[in-house]
Amino acid sequence: MVNVEICIGSACYVKGSSQVVNDLNALIKEKGWEDKIAVKGSFCMKACQNHIGLGIRINGRQIEGVTAQNAREILDRELSAALA
Amino acid sequence: MSNMFTHESRQFKFDILVNICRQAFKGEVVEDDVQAYARNLVSLEGPRYRCCVYKEREVLRQRVRLAMGKMAREEIEPNPRQIIHVIDAACDGCSIKKIRVTDNCRKCMAKSCLAACRFGAIHIGNVRSEIDYTKCKECGACARACPYSAIVVTERPCYAHCPVQAISWDSNNIAVIDEKRCINCGQCENACPFGAIEDVSWVVPVIKAIKMGTEVYAIVAPSIQGQFENATIPQVLKSVEMLGFTKCEEVAIGADAVAEFEYQELAEHKKSGAPMTTSCCPGFVNMLKIHFPKLYKENKSTTVTPMEALARRIKRDHPDAGVVFIGPCLAKKQEAMEDYSVVDYVLTYEELAAMLISKGINPEEIEASEEEYPSVFGRNFAFSGGVAQAVAEAAKEHNDGPYTAFMANGAMECKKQLQIMQAGKFTFDILEGMCCPGGCIAGPGTISDAVQVKGRMAKENMTTDKKTIQKSLEIFSFDNVDMEVGTHAE
């Protein structure tokens, strides 16, 4: 099981993390990963203060440089790698 | 839905919030729905507040965007620290001429206005006196001189209520907020008769967090007491928990700790001879930080706010949980965005009421049992005078004092006292600053009349065990909670 945590704190929400949750859910559905990936909400993981984009962790590892625009692409790549 | 507000524009804003909450609890709130939503709420049949249905829909669209935590228009760059925004479509561009001659003018023989004007700005026109605005200095002497009260002094409500001159207008007379000057106190939002100034709402992400099963604590400000008619504090706490929060606690607990720490700080200030300003009103703190930086450094209490104190206490015990503050205040939404703050979201009572209504929860009907509660002094942080009183009580409990306090009630008074302090003429030990006239019970996010609330608070607090601040801190220990604001990140 791959755990994905997405920050739904205010700073990330303003930058579109809510959309990322929707995109991720769509991606999981599309790829049929429902049983392999667990999506969890999280609060501030200091991504905003460290200026590394939206707060997203995959299996506890912080992913850097994610924006609302490139989230789908990066999550697709990272999750495919994590599942492989 | 029955009207909760006497102010129609306020009711309209509230109805939108209820609808958004309903949608968010049901499923997703998708931006594409907004257009359809606008059509639904604003029909061709009316009622009409604006010139046409298209303008109303645009106003509604911008309102809905703000209610969803977005900027009013797509092209505005999000600034998480700016909470108060102008809905440009709703702004009426109202009178920007401060002095006006009305048709009460009888073009009299005395012409006291003409004589009163020291700048040669008044001349007598065909039907009445006229003002040459290139010469008018807006002193108001003509208005005072007129025996018919024919000359009026009017100011835009938003501009008149802004204590820090953060409001100006563009070439179309639409209000513009200078984000570098704005202290997010919300006085302009309260004042605008067109509801054209609004705060960003976080109801959607909070509901999302709850629905995702995330551990979220709600903490309610002292002024919640009496907001929901005769619902008692245990009933309110229980109602909030029923929305899906893990637990709901009273911020008055944090207020007790703040009173204790601010007293200790005050003793230090007294030694050095510098008066201390209180730290709990974020609008007041912003005023200091942006407009009185010297006092901010030398006089401001560095104790955290009660909200922050309790949030840090919760995170001490539950590091992964989220904390949502629910209060009367808009500036708190900005405080939560500061780098030192551990608060994740801030909602107003208005937004809480929208959530409760959307879930059909009526706090007055909820059965709840009383748990351990803080002191009345902590609860009284809710109104003007309460903070200084609590600090004085903390001093008394340490056999210290008495200290003298000045209560600056309202943003304009806060500014005046800070100017006096800046000039070195402030003679009291404590300056209690509260931006809302009356204190937090009159905050822009409240849903009940401040006078009624104060009465209900006194009534409920009569039945408490009158515990001291020390006693409260024995029950709610703040050991290992950092009570200093810490990094003043810019």
**Beta bridge mates, B85:** B198
Tell me whether residues B320 and A42 touch, CB distance under 8 A.
yes
Q: Cα(B18)–Cα(B23) distance, rounded to whole angstroms?
A: 9
**Beta bridge mates, B129:** B124
SS3 state of residue A72: helix
**Is the CB of A49 inside 8 Å of chain B's CB atoms?**
yes
Report which DSSP code applies to A44.
Answer: -
Whether the ω angle into residue B205 lies within 30 degrees of 0, i.e. cis, is: no
Tell me whether residues B212 and A22 touch, CB distance under 8 A.
no
Q: Cα(A7)–Cα(B93) distance, rounded to whole angstroms?
A: 39
How many other CB atoms sit within 10 Å of the CB of residue A2?
A: 15
Residue with tokens 């919760």: B314
Radius of gyration of chain A measured on its C-alpha atoms: 12
Q: Which of A11, A39, A41 sits opposite B209 (nearest CB)?
A: A41
| Residue among B323, B337, B338, B346 with most chain A CBs within 10 A, to mutate | B337
- Give the max Cα distance, chain A: 34
Which residue in chain B has the smallest CA separation from A13?
Answer: B205
Task: Look up residue B201 and give its two tokens.
Answer: 């709402």
Asked whether the predicted pLDDT for residue A50 surpasses 90, the reply is no
Tell me whether residues B209 and A8 touch, CB distance under 8 A.
yes
Contacts of B337 in chain A (CB under 8 A): 10-11
Asked whether the predicted pLDDT for residue A22 surpasses 90, the reply is no
Tell me whether residues A40 and B337 touch, CB distance under 8 A.
no
| Residue among B71, B82, B214, B308 with most chain A CBs within 10 A, to mutate | B214
Tell me whether residues B208 and A21 touch, CB distance under 8 A.
yes
* pLDDT on residue B321: 92
Q: Give yes or no for a contact between B167 and B67, defined as CB atoms under 8 angstroms apart.
A: no
Look at residues B336, B320, B330 and name the one whose alpha carbon lies nearest to residue A7: B320
Mean of the per-residue pLDDT values of chain A? 88
Q: Give yes or no for a contact between B240 and B363, defined as CB atoms under 8 angstroms apart.
A: no
**Is the CB of A5 inside 8 Å of chain B's CB atoms?**
no
SS3 state of residue A57: strand
How many interface pairs between A and B have CB atoms less than 8 angstroms apart? 53
Q: For residue B122, give every residue at least 6 positions away whose Cβ sits within 8 Å of its Cβ, in sequence order, or none.
A: B113, B114, B129, B130, B131, B132, B142
Q: Which of A9, A14, A41 sits opposite B212 (nearest CB)?
A: A41
Asked whether the predicted pLDDT for residue A73 surpasses 60, the reply is yes
Q: For residue A76, give every residue at least 6 positions away whose Cβ sits within 8 Å of its Cβ, in sequence order, or none.
A: A27
Q: Cα(B18)–Cα(B356) distance, rounded to whole angstroms?
A: 9
Q: Cα(B459)–Cα(B98) distance, rounded to whole angstroms?
A: 45
| Tally of domains in chain A | 1
From A39's Cα to the closest Cα of chain B, the distance in A is 9
Q: Cα(B419)–Cα(B151) distance, rounded to whole angstroms?
A: 32
SS3 state of residue A36: coil
Angle between helices B411-422 and B282-291 (to 10 degrees): 40
Domains of chain B from N-terminus onward: 8-91+162-200 (no CATH), 99-153 (3.30.70.20), 213-475 (no CATH)
Q: Which domain holds residue A26?
A: 2-83
**Is the CB of B209 inside 8 Å of chain A's CB atoms?**
yes
Provide the CATH number for the domain around residue A15: 3.40.30.10
**Is the CB of B337 inside 8 Å of chain A's CB atoms?**
yes
3-state secondary structure chain B: CCCCCCCHHHHHHHHHHHHHHHHHHHCCCCCCHHHHHHHHHCCCCCCCCCCCHHHHHHHHHHHHHHHCCCCCCCCCCCCCCCCEEECCCCCCCCCCCCEEECCCCCCCCCCHHHHHCCCCCEEECCCCEEECCCCCCCCCHHHHHCCCCCEEECCCHHHHHCCCCCEEECCCCCEEECCCCCCCCCHHHHHCCCCCEEECCCHHHHHHHHHCCCCEEEEECHHHCCCCCCCCHHHHHHHHHHCCCCEEEECHHHHHHHHHHHHHHHHHHHHHCCCEECCCCHHHHHHHHHHCHHHHHHCECCECCHHHHHHHHHHHHCCCCEEEEEECCCHHHHHCCCCCCCCCEEEEHHHHHHHHHHCCCCHHHCCCCCCCCCCHHHHHHHCCCHHHHHHHHHHHHCCCCCCCEEEEECHHHHHHHHHHHHCCCCCCCEEEEECCCCCHHHCCCCCCCHHHHHHHHHHHHHCCCCCCHHHHHHHCCCCCCCCECCCCCC
Residues with pLDDT less than 50, chain B: 1, 488-490
* pLDDT on residue B489: 38
Tell me whether residues B69 and A42 touch, CB distance under 8 A.
no
Residue with tokens 């009624």: B452
Report which DSSP code applies to A1.
Answer: -
